[in-house]
A = this chain, B = another copy of it.
Amino acid sequence: MPAARAEGAGKSGPTLEQVAARAGVGRGTASRVINGSPRVSERTRAAVQAAVAELGYVPNRAARALAAGSMDAIALVVPEQENRLFAEPYFSEILRGVSTELGDTDMQLLLTLIRDQRGRERFAQYAAAHRVDGVLLVSIHGDDPLPDLLRDAGMPAVLSGRRSHAEQLPYVDSDNLLGAQIAVEHLLGRGRRKVATITGPLDMYVARCRLEGYHEALRAAGRTRTPPDGRLVAEGDFTEEGGRRGMLELLRRDPEVDAVFCASDVMAAGARLALRETGRRVPDDVALVGFDDSAVARHMDPPLTTVRQPIEEMGRAMVRMLLDLMARAQDDPQGQHRAEGREMTDDDQPRLVLPTELIRRRSS
Measuring CB to CB, which residues of chain A are less than 8 angstroms from any residue of chain B? 8-10, 12-13, 56, 58-63, 65-66, 69, 71, 73, 76, 80, 83, 86-89, 91-93, 95-96, 99-100, 102-103, 108-113, 115, 119, 125-126, 128-131, 154, 240, 269, 272, 295-296, 298-301, 329, 333-336
Q: Closest residue of chain B to A91, judged by CB? A: B92
Q: Report 29 cross-chain contacts, Cβ distance below 8 Å, ordered by A residue.
A: A8-B333, A9-B154, A9-B336, A10-B69, A10-B329, A10-B333, A12-B69, A13-B129, A58-B128, A58-B129, A60-B130, A61-B65, A61-B129, A62-B65, A62-B130, A65-B65, A73-B110, A86-B93, A87-B295, A92-B92, A95-B111, A103-B113, A103-B119, A109-B111, A110-B111, A111-B111, A295-B296, A299-B300, A301-B301
Q: What 5 A-B pairs have minimum CB-CB distances, sorted nearest first?
A: A9-B334, A301-B301, A62-B65, A58-B129, A62-B66
Q: Does the CB pair A130–B12 fall under 8 Å?
A: yes
Q: Closest residue of chain B to A13, judged by CB? A: B129
Q: Does the CB pair A109–B108 fall under 8 Å?
A: no
Given A12-B69, A113-B103, CB of A59 within 8 Å of CB of B96: no
CA distance A336 to B9 in the complex (A): 9
Q: Does the CB pair B60–A154 fall under 8 Å?
A: no
Given A110-B110, A111-B99, A129-B60, CB of A8 within 8 Å of CB of B92: no
CA distance A96 to B111 in the complex (A): 11
Q: Does the CB pair A334–B60 fall under 8 Å?
A: no
Q: Closest residue of chain B to A92, judged by CB? A: B86
Q: Among the listed B96, B110, B154, B300, which residue makes an inter-chain contact with A10, where contact means beta carbons less than 8 Å apart?
A: B154
Shortest distance from the beta carbon of A24 to any chain B beta carbon, whole Å: 23
Most chain B Cβ neighbours within 10 Å, of A119, A129, A299: A299
For A58, list chain B residues within 8 Å (CB).
125-126, 128-129
For A91, list chain B residues within 8 Å (CB).
92
Q: Closest residue of chain B to A75, judged by CB? A: B108
For A86, list chain B residues within 8 Å (CB).
92-93, 95-96
CA distance A9 to B128 in the complex (A): 10
Most chain B Cβ neighbours within 10 Å, of A59, A128, A298: A128
Given A58-B129, A91-B92, A92-B91, CB of A110 within 8 Å of CB of B112: no
CA distance A130 to B58 in the complex (A): 10
CA distance A80 to B80 in the complex (A): 25
